[in-house]
A and B are shown apart, each in its own frame.
Chain A
Amino acid sequence: MRKKAALILLISVLITLCFLTVDSAKKILRSDSQKISSIKGEEQRRLVLITQDLDTPFWDGVAGGAAQQAEEELVSLEVWGSYNNNEQEFLKKIDIAIQSKVDGLILQGLDTEEFKEMTKVKASFYGIPVITIANDVPMTESLRKTYVGSDQFKAGKMLASSLIQDMGQAGSVVLLYDSHSEFYQEERLRGIQDEFSQYPDIKLVLTETAHTREPVIAATQGVLNTYPDAKAFIALNGKMAGPMIQEISKRFQIKPMFLYTFDDGPELQPLLEEEKLDGIVKQDPEMMGKIGVQRLLEWLDGETVPLNINGYYTDIHIVKAGNM
């Protein structure tokens, strides 16, 4: 009896060991299958989209559209850039892209000397075509091939007319704009001023500020002190809207105020839903990305040469708080 029990024990231990061994061996053989692959892929055309504002909803949209188009056109596209308008990093990425001799550059326009130097001299030296996207820099200064994005002048006009519709034809309107003058903001401002010029009762107060948080708050305080009767506020740069509203709401009821801005800031959607913002000018970032890639390829393939100097405009529309 004991002998039998010992035999059964022995056999079961043997079977268990066999099973474990086979199991281990199987695992080893299975994981053996994958290997370092050194596939020499086809040489695809390399496009780079560079922005200063990575990971914002707007630029994610642009990048998404561009990537989709690039996939369709079978070119490789990478999105580079800096965070929070870090200009140095942004310019460095452009430099790297140029030194890497990419086939084409899609850049968020930056209205600075360094940027223009980069596109006009360096990119041209290496023969790399540049398209500005979303924010434009004048062609003469940057030698860009074309611009893809919203018609900022028209956007300014749309915003102004919408404001007049809401507020009426009289009142003071405070306008915050970037001290670091950007071409696209100038265009917007031009559009707004153009619209307001028909209504003499509207007083436009231009306030210059840097687009970072503290200066915006300071500027808002200052203008509120100087013009306590201001009824409407416009932020030319979407990034300014957040701190601006925060500051205004400290002093006044937000509801009766008319607050307008453009959609290139990060925190606009919730503000609009809370009806703190009355309206924003919505652009179409996906389309910009798509068209940007498309036009650049057209130029590279020699299908459309030269590209439209004035640019290819994408759709814009006003989104109002009530319409949400």
Chain B
Amino acid sequence: MDLKLDHYTKDDTEIVVVEGEIDVYTAPRLRELLIDLVNKGNFHLVVNMEKVEFLDSTGLGVLVGGLKRVRAHDGTLDLVCTQERILKIFRITGLTKVFGIHESVQEAIDKRAAK
């Protein structure tokens, strides 16, 4: 399936809900959304990837790009993902050490608040 994007505010965090496939074709849409959110002053982002069916290095690049942008404003970008097929690519590329990866949106928010 194609890529479906949604977002909402929870506490002081903007939650981005991603559904479908993130690849070289669809990743630009996610990149534009992340850039737009940051430009509008949302510097604490959580990307919920529980409904992502496919992620490649292009998608990883977009997430890293988003992380760079929020960090420029002392912000955070955390991920919610429990799917082994998606987590595998984070492990292969070593990006599990770069992103905070959580089991739920609430956990991502709570852990950031506890820092």
- A and B bind: no
Q: Which residues of B contact A (CB under 8 A)?
A: none
